[in-house]
Amino acid sequence: MTAPKPLRADARRKREALLAAAREVFDTGDFFDLRFDDFARLAGVGTGTLYRHFPTREALAEAVYHQVVATLCDRAGQLRATLPAAEALATFLREMVDYMDAHQGLARTLATLMAAGSGALAEGGRAMEQAVADLVAAAKRDGTVRDDVGSGTVMMALHGIGAAHDRPDWRAEADGVITLVLDGLRRPGH
């Protein structure tokens, strides 16, 4: 399989404008309520440009999702490289709650994509789980996290927090769940 040709600078700018416009709508949770052609107008490009880069609404949503996952995974790597392992894990989990709080529409958009059977969600989920696994493994190596808990447990807690985003006191409860998870992960004496 050959790699796709690199985009010209103007084509890359237009693609990025489409992704930025879609990202704003993605975050509101109205992604599937907007007419697909409206994304071109919001990005300041023609509809032909929209369809050339993203032939379907799902393709655009998946591209935005890939950006989100890449950003979060990069952040996990940065934290792992610059902070002690337990602090990197705690910071990442707390930042994930901040991210969910700032991007509440994300859950609705992702639920719609999931219902449509998007393979991008599974791929992104694996990437996120690997980022969390790397953080947990580093904390296990330095002896601050119990050996008997895996990244799947942490991911399940994050999924539960995200799924409960409609609760009235969500933010305080989400912070409490992260504290509970971190306390449960901690190796006795640390």
Residue ranges per structural domain of the chain: 61-185
Residue 188 pLDDT level (bands cut at 50, 70, 90): confident
The CA-CA-CA angle for residues 156, 157, 160, to 5°, reads: 85
Tell me the C-alpha distance between 39 and 17, whole Å.
Answer: 10
- 61-185 under CATH 1.10.357.10, yes or no: yes
Between 92 and 29, where is the model more confident?
A: 92
Tell me what pLDDT residue 105 has: 73
Which residues have C-beta within 8 Å of that of residue 190, sequence separation ≥ 6? 86, 143, 144
What is the reported pTM? 0.83
With H, G, I as helix, E, B as strand and everything else as coil, classify residue 145.
Answer: strand
pLDDT in tens, 93-146: 999 999 888 887 766 666 666 666 666 677 888 898 999 999 999 999 999 999
